[in-house]
Chains A and B, each alone.
Chain A
Amino acid sequence: MADGTAMPLAGGTDILPGWANGASRRPLIDLSGVPDFAGRIDEDAHGWSFGALTTWSQLAAAPLPPYFDAAKQAALEVGGRQIQNRATLVGNLCNASPAADGVTALMCLDTVVQLRSLRGSRSVALADFVTGNRQTVRAADELVTGLAVPRRGQDARSIFRKLGARRYLVISIAMVAVLLEGSRRELKRAAIAVGSCSARPMRVTSLEREIAGRDAACLAAAAGAALPELAPISDVRATSAYRTHAARTLIAGAVSDCAALLP
């Protein structure tokens, strides 16, 4: 591991399919034997923490405040149940696919990624952790030890919307996670993340700023947003023009649906 040739193995749902698709096999380090890495969800003074091997099923079933709803909805979109039972949150972040539903959902929660190596520990905001298509700041000798999600107010709500060409087991054409805090009369804060529309899932901070402080009736702004953060490509799933348009449509829908959940 220290020399970076071995690969940490969590749920294996990204690593093993890679073998069938022709990826060469690297030595694996099975993390399931490491007690510190066990799947767990705990609440502490600052918020919530997640063990490195926490699976999407565990997240979906956990009693968590409503601002985790987007993450829970995303959890149930990561493959089918047999994938969710194995696949970990951390694996999704480390794999860093542009189409990672998990990254997108966890981004709007300002998730912090905790890393450790023989050289020491560090914490990196998820938005900075994933740097590109299958690229992260994780060094080859570093392991992700867990995730931390800061506590939000009672008035925080979130929602996740995924667009794919079929209902189950589908790689997203585009997806959106929205977290709003405040009330329908005054939105204190908005966090909006979009996936499959750039080399990595992105927060659309321009729109977040535009919405903050306004009332829910002004959300029409979302539908016409410029979204300069996104740079979608054309692939087998959709054209880039469509992706931009779909992202806008999904954002508008998700923001207004989420606002409707606010107190």
Chain B
Amino acid sequence: MILMNVNGAERQVEVAPDTRLSGVLRDTLGLTGTKIGCDAGDCGACTVLLDGEQVCACLVLAGQAEGYAVTTVEGLQSRPLAAALQRAFLAHGAAQCGICTPGMLMAATDLVERNASPTKTEVEDALGGVLCRCTGYVKIVEAVLDHASFHDGAVVKAGMGWVGERLVKVDGQRKVDGTEKFGADLVPDGCLELRAVRSPHAHARFHFGDLDAFELAHPGVSVFIAGDVPGNNSFGVFPSHRDQPVLADGYIRYRGEAVAALVGPAALVDAIADGDLPLEWTLLHPLSGIDAALEPGAAQLHERAPGNVLVQGRQVTGDAAAALSACAHIAAQEFETGFVEHAYIEPEAGYAERKGDRIEVFVSTQTPYMDRGEVAWVLGIQPSQVRIIPSAIGGGFGGKIDMAVQQLVAVAAWTLGKPVRCVFTRGESIAATVKRHPARMRARLGCDAAGTLQAFEFHADFNTGPYASCGSIVANRVPIHAMGPYRVPAVNCTTRAVYTNDSIAGAFRGFGVPQAAMVHEALMDELADRAGIDRLEFRHRNALRPGDRTATSQQLGESVGMRECLDALRPYWQAALADCDAFNAKGGVYRRGVGIGCMWYGIGNTSQPNPSSMRVALARHGRFVLFSGAVDIGQGASTILMQVCAEALGVPVADIDLVSGDTDLTLDAGKSSASRQAFISGNAVRFAAMDLRRKLLRYAEAGDAACMRLEGDAIVFEEGASRYRLAIDDMVAEEGELVMVGTGHFDPPTTPLDENGAGVPYATYAFAAQIAIVEVHLALGTVSVKRIVAAHDVGRAINPTQVEGQIHGGIAQGIGLALMEEHLPGRTENLHDYLIPTFGDIPDIDIILIEKREPLGPYGAKGIGEPALIPTAPAILNAIHHATGVRLERIPATPDRVWSALQGRNT
């Protein structure tokens, strides 16, 4: 029995003294506001106060907390400064997915209770032990610095909450008070724990010894192996590419592959070591890297992929080779990137529960409807028998498109008839789930003597790892984007996605386009220098314009803001060039450089139907309800969809409730990926809301321009001087409690691509340019990003605070990509060897929003999720080149790599 004071109340807990305090708080006391991201002190998500001082609850044992006062996020409301911080976080948009927010608030509380007006550096020092993958930390720092403005209540000014307003996140309150339920935060009664036993080998065959004897020796624990999967032992992102087994069937294709699942009460499962399972391995030569997989005679990892090539992509217009040979200037570049880990702070988690002949899965996912289909396939049942209930999602970035725990808990819960949960450890999350594709690219770009681009040639090989996942999406998207947002008459782009025994590569913010952008932007710099034209002006001269034809022969519409982005950056660019010259003229060991990166990005899936359907209803109890299948992964989809809904209905957002994600209650809105929810689901919501409004106006016999307002249990229509009051109770319900329902549907107009890649792959494109100013230490090779100015054509910023937040977060990930992030299977499976940017790694960021409205989009909006990240790394790499003359051919630009390059050895 251990005594401690938790949030002001004396608590006696019956746990072993060597239980982690984080476990005591969450599992014994039910205080799930304290999050677990690593159990190793690396992420700070578990930060609590121990006698008023911030500590990692995962590194304090229950016995060590005996007699101490523990404060968690649930106890903050009663501390005035902490409550002010919570309001400041809400108002500033400092919580995106919110998984880091409790830890951030605890660290910030520790700070402001000692020092009421800290400096920016003091804030960074105090919060530096907490990682955030979404926000780029900018708005968190702003919120802490500004907390004093929120001492006396009220965060939000009541407004309509329509498009263009800085509406506070509709799910924000739950994120700052610790009540939000992420994948690991709900546990049904009697829930069993599942742990996957994973292969320590990258390529092997295996067989089990006497499993019956093993089960007999471990009463209460069930062992699931390949043969226990009731339906099909396979899944994937596309029904046509289901090449990944739920449990490996005697053959291992990557380190971290699930071999078996142990299911039982947590204590029993935890007591079993992986090595206890009777398993015999036959090791095979692992195909590590693209070359090994392409070698003649290499093992074939999948029967239907001869030569280990999953898919090839192609985009050809004109005769690029001939056009290049006629160019006045040509630049060539080879470039290589590694695996990049999403490192969302919430590891994959969820549970499944069988309900008669149906199964319910509560899970952290970006794509509930795909999960529904895949779980049904794995169990051999109908999709209608599967209900996916998305939890709050503690970061996705593409990594929670593929199933991770879903298929495992579903199989076990379906078979055992008891609820089963699974929470990945950090090591498991990194080892077992998808990464950004490593790319090996080579390209040539040519222009005429006047500096007008003529031709582009590009080939990329992507290491797609052992399973298809989103490999074909990457291979098909990249050729379309690889020349960058420029007019290039002759283009020849080819790609291959190659199976290997490395980590699985899948979707990660940009689907391969960020990798390609580093190449086209390096080439633009080289060519500009050769043509003797300023690097920004060279891009401006060649930038796509409204009405242009792209390389796929698609004619662009009005919403092409590439030149406007560059125009907006020009003054910053010129000032930065002058500043760098002046700085470098002083000599010394630092060199300053400025670089620019441009990008374009097609919104939505490539040349595929990718519809979204939405429902908006007037409910019996006198409120509107938006039923949205589009999950909010922290990017803010719920909030902007509510804003669109409110404006289209013509009512304040406060009159609308949101039902989100649950596949039993919503329609299929497609995946939260490809930056598509604002544009596509935004439209579906708008149409659904307009449909409902039209129906209501018709019912009330009011004119199109009438104002509509909820008033208690009635709805009031006003038009000029006339006023009509409709009692909701008097209306006949269309279905159940829903009096009237509007539906909306949008599928962006695209066409399939022909064999040369001609067609309309996307209905609209986002454009952006960023400039980066860096300082390089010539002797140490360290690169410090001093400032980034980002200009983004988003069509329309539905919620400017959220758009800024996406850009900050994208820039932070771009900095990580450029300077520090590379996953090496087996070596970086934790958050101290795999490094993501911390508070101190983010420069000053200026954002310029360009709003070239997209006529097809909801109120002109396009998308921002992925575009935010793409230009950053190219801008940084170009800035390093400007500072030092060194053109890196491999990222990340770690100090030793930059130093080697400075010595003339590009490694």
Question: Complex formed: what's the CA distance from A9 to B53 in Å?
Answer: 20
Q: Is the CB of A30 within 8 A of B64?
A: yes
Question: Complex formed: what's the CA distance from A169 to B703 in Å?
Answer: 62
Question: What's the minimum C-beta distance from A138 to chain B, rounded to whole angstroms?
Answer: 22
Question: Complex formed: what's the CA distance from A171 to B838 in Å?
Answer: 13
Asked if B56 is an interface residue, CB under 8 A from chain A, the answer is: yes
B863 / chain A contacts, CB cutoff of 8 Å: none
10 pairs of A and B residues whose beta carbons are closest in the complex = A80-B129, A167-B840, A168-B128, A242-B896, A17-B40, A168-B838, A20-B39, A238-B896, A20-B40, A249-B779
With A169-B832, A242-B900 in contact, do A30 and B40 touch (Cβ < 8 Å)?
A: no
Asked if A12 is an interface residue, CB under 8 A from chain B, the answer is: yes
- Residue from A22, A166, A171 having most chain B Cβ neighbours under 10 A: A166
Q: Is the CB of B782 within 8 A of A163?
A: yes
Asked if A225 is an interface residue, CB under 8 A from chain B, the answer is: no
Asked if B895 is an interface residue, CB under 8 A from chain A, the answer is: yes
With A81-B110, A166-B838 in contact, do A86 and B60 touch (Cβ < 8 Å)?
A: yes
Q: What is the 8 Å Cβ interface bit string for chain B, positions 524-549, against chain A (1 contact, 0 not)?
A: 00000000000000000000000000
Q: Is the CB of A30 within 8 A of B63?
A: yes
Asked if B765 is an interface residue, CB under 8 A from chain A, the answer is: no
Q: What is the 8 Å Cβ interface bit string for chain A, positions 231-263, against chain B (1 contact, 0 not)?
A: 000001111001101100110000000000000
Q: Which residue of B lies closest to A85 (CB)?
A: B53
Question: Complex formed: what's the CA distance from A4 to B837 in Å?
Answer: 41
Q: Is the CB of B895 within 8 A of A86?
A: no
Q: A163: which of B53, B56, B827, B895 is its contact (CB, 8 Å)?
A: B895
Known: A80-B128, A83-B59, A236-B824. 14 other contacts (CB 8 A): A16-B59, A16-B61, A17-B42, A19-B39, A76-B125, A81-B126, A81-B128, A85-B53, A86-B55, A166-B840, A169-B832, A236-B828, A245-B899, A249-B780
Q: B41: which of A79, A238, A243, A246 is its contact (CB, 8 Å)?
A: A79
B107 / chain A contacts, CB cutoff of 8 Å: 80-82
Q: Is the CB of A238 within 8 A of B894?
A: yes
Q: What is the 8 Å Cβ interface bit string for chain B, positions 34-53, against chain A (1 contact, 0 not)?
A: 00001111101001001001
Q: B427: which of A12, A13, A20, A238 is its contact (CB, 8 Å)?
A: A20
Q: Which residue of A lies closest to B836 (CB)?
A: A166
Question: What's the minimum C-beta distance from A85 to chain B, rounded to whole angstroms?
Answer: 5
Q: Is the CB of A12 within 8 A of B64?
A: yes
Asked if B673 is an interface residue, CB under 8 A from chain A, the answer is: no
Q: Is the CB of B839 within 8 A of A168?
A: yes
Q: Is the CB of A85 within 8 A of B42?
A: no
Interface size bucket, A side? 35 or more
A163 / chain B contacts, CB cutoff of 8 Å: 780, 782, 895
Question: Complex formed: what's the CA distance from A83 to B779 in Å?
Answer: 31
Question: Complex formed: what's the CA distance from A22 to B40 in Å?
Answer: 11
Q: Is the CB of B129 within 8 A of A82?
A: yes
Q: Is the CB of A32 within 8 A of B64?
A: yes
B737 / chain A contacts, CB cutoff of 8 Å: none
Asked if A165 is an interface residue, CB under 8 A from chain B, the answer is: yes
Question: What's the minimum C-beta distance from A15 to chain B, rounded to whole angstroms?
Answer: 9
Question: What's the minimum C-beta distance from A194 to chain B, rounded to whole angstroms?
Answer: 14
Question: Complex formed: what's the CA distance from A25 to B425 in Å?
Answer: 17
Question: What's the minimum C-beta distance from A217 to chain B, rounded to whole angstroms?
Answer: 18
A171 / chain B contacts, CB cutoff of 8 Å: 832-833
Q: What is the 8 Å Cβ interface bit string for chain A, positions 153-183, against chain B (1 contact, 0 not)?
A: 0000000000101111111010000000000
Q: What is the 8 Å Cβ interface bit string for chain A, positions 68-82, against chain B (1 contact, 0 not)?
A: 000000001001111
B215 / chain A contacts, CB cutoff of 8 Å: none
Q: A83: which of B56, B781, B830, B900 is its contact (CB, 8 Å)?
A: B56
Q: Is the CB of A246 within 8 A of B780?
A: yes
A57 / chain B contacts, CB cutoff of 8 Å: 53
Question: What's the minimum C-beta distance from A246 to chain B, rounded to whole angstroms?
Answer: 6
> Chain A interface (Cβ within 8 Å of chain B)?
9, 11-13, 16-17, 19-22, 25, 28, 30, 32, 57, 76, 79-83, 85-86, 163, 165-171, 173, 236-239, 242-243, 245-246, 249-250
Question: What's the minimum C-beta distance from B277 to chain A, rounded to whole angstroms?
Answer: 16
Q: Which residue of A lies closest to B837 (CB)?
A: A166
A167 / chain B contacts, CB cutoff of 8 Å: 124, 128, 838-841
Q: Which residue of A lies closest to B829 (CB)?
A: A21
Q: B835: which of A25, A170, A242 is its contact (CB, 8 Å)?
A: A170
Asked if B20 is an interface residue, CB under 8 A from chain A, the answer is: yes
Question: What's the minimum C-beta distance from A219 to chain B, rounded to whole angstroms?
Answer: 15
Q: Is the CB of B60 within 8 A of A12?
A: yes
B899 / chain A contacts, CB cutoff of 8 Å: 242, 245-246
Q: Is the CB of B820 within 8 A of A165?
A: yes
Q: Is the CB of A20 within 8 A of B426?
A: yes
Q: Is the CB of B840 within 8 A of A168?
A: yes
Q: 21 A–B contact pairs at CB < 8 A?
A: A12-B64, A13-B59, A17-B41, A21-B830, A28-B18, A30-B17, A30-B63, A76-B125, A80-B44, A80-B130, A81-B54, A83-B59, A165-B819, A166-B838, A166-B841, A168-B129, A168-B839, A170-B838, A236-B824, A236-B833, A238-B895
With A16-B41, A81-B125 in contact, do A236 and B55 touch (Cβ < 8 Å)?
A: no
Q: What is the 8 Å Cβ interface bit string for chain B, positions 121-144, against chain A (1 contact, 0 not)?
A: 000111011110000000000000
Q: Is the CB of B128 within 8 A of A17?
A: no
Q: Which residue of B lies closest to A245 (CB)?
A: B899
Question: Complex formed: what's the CA distance from A237 to B894 in Å?
Answer: 8
A168 / chain B contacts, CB cutoff of 8 Å: 124, 128-129, 838-840
Question: Complex formed: what's the CA distance from A61 to B426 in Å?
Answer: 33
Q: Is the CB of A165 within 8 A of B895?
A: yes
Question: Complex formed: what's the CA distance from A85 to B131 in Å?
Answer: 18
B225 / chain A contacts, CB cutoff of 8 Å: none
Asked if B58 is an interface residue, CB under 8 A from chain A, the answer is: yes
Question: What's the minimum C-beta distance from B684 to chain A, rounded to whole angstroms?
Answer: 41
Q: Is the CB of A21 within 8 A of B40?
A: yes
A22 / chain B contacts, CB cutoff of 8 Å: 427
Question: What's the minimum C-beta distance from A116 to chain B, rounded to whole angstroms?
Answer: 22
With A21-B427, A166-B837, A168-B128 in contact, do A82 and B894 touch (Cβ < 8 Å)?
A: no
Q: A246: which of B18, B63, B895 is its contact (CB, 8 Å)?
A: B895
B838 / chain A contacts, CB cutoff of 8 Å: 166-170
Question: Complex formed: what's the CA distance from A85 to B128 in Å?
Answer: 13
Question: What's the minimum C-beta distance from A74 to chain B, rounded to whole angstroms?
Answer: 14
Question: What's the minimum C-beta distance from A237 to chain B, rounded to whole angstroms?
Answer: 8
A236 / chain B contacts, CB cutoff of 8 Å: 824, 827-828, 833
- Residue from A13, A57, A86, A163 having most chain B Cβ neighbours under 10 A: A86
Question: Complex formed: what's the CA distance from A12 to B827 in Å?
Answer: 23
Question: Complex formed: what's the CA distance from A82 to B111 in Å?
Answer: 11
B895 / chain A contacts, CB cutoff of 8 Å: 163, 165, 173, 238, 242, 246
Question: Complex formed: what's the CA distance from A249 to B61 in Å?
Answer: 41
B40 / chain A contacts, CB cutoff of 8 Å: 16-17, 20-21
Question: What's the minimum C-beta distance from A52 to chain B, rounded to whole angstroms?
Answer: 15
Question: Complex formed: what's the CA distance from A169 to B838 in Å?
Answer: 8
Q: Is the CB of A83 within 8 A of B896?
A: no
Q: What is the 8 Å Cβ interface bit string for chain B, positions 634-648, against chain A (1 contact, 0 not)?
A: 000000000000000
Question: Complex formed: what's the CA distance from A19 to B830 in Å?
Answer: 12
- Residue from B47, B129, B841 having most chain A Cβ neighbours under 10 A: B129
Question: Complex formed: what's the CA distance from A86 to B820 in Å?
Answer: 28
Question: Complex formed: what's the CA distance from A30 to B17 in Å?
Answer: 10
A82 / chain B contacts, CB cutoff of 8 Å: 41, 44, 47, 54-56, 107, 129
B841 / chain A contacts, CB cutoff of 8 Å: 166-167
A86 / chain B contacts, CB cutoff of 8 Å: 55-56, 59-60
